[in-house]
Structure 1
């Protein structure tokens, strides 16, 4: 099924730092060492379809006394989304997202998200999501929110 003419947006970023006692999410303690961070994302959108994805990765080289298993870390995260505009006000989406912290004793966390968006007006959007682990899709939870544009 052809997607039709649309808009493609792509992005990439990167960073390098030498840190002394930096706080990094999903690490056991403060981080001292060298970090390399890279990210890439893309989104293709037509009047009816949306396809998007992103990949985030890091290379963490610890300095100083560390346990051998934590001398280097390479966490990686991603998401892939597909959406369909049912009509001007209704949108359904499915997203697969994951994160692997690459730390001893941890395992990758892959999630499935099913979403519904309703644009009640030009300034009000209602969002309902069902999120579950890919290992047990039946054991998920619903969230809802209202988005207001100012």
Structure 2
């Protein structure tokens, strides 16, 4: 028949274009997943972890007349210890160093030693510390006097 084209040649050309396009996509995918793998993993880690400290500024609470202050924001800290990481000597040294900073007498020091001897991994040593006392404890830790 006149005007009839060979569909086999057309099919081979179309198949060749498909193979070239597929090969290009596979090569690009391999480039992203094999060659750039470490860079992308690092970027993903940076995107998923963001450390930000947002201070919570609270206002005072007044009575219904708005004159008498009923409550204000007061900053207090808690002193805790990871006792499972301390030896007996370190616990005693820590108690001896903390007692004067916390204003403890002999009975308080004995109670502190007992808390440090607790087998739990996380022990609260003092609650409601004022900022001045907290700063003294932080300074002692930074100086290496408290393990």
Fold shared, TM-score > 0.5 on shorter chain: no
Which protein, 1 or 2, shows the higher relative CO under an 8 Å CA cutoff with sep ≥ 6?
2
User: Which structure has more helix as a fraction of its residues?
Assistant: 2
- TM-score for the superposition, normalised by structure 1: 0.21
Structure with more of its chain in strand, by fraction: 1
Q: TM-score, normalised by structure 2?
A: 0.22
Q: Which has the larger radius of gyration?
A: 2
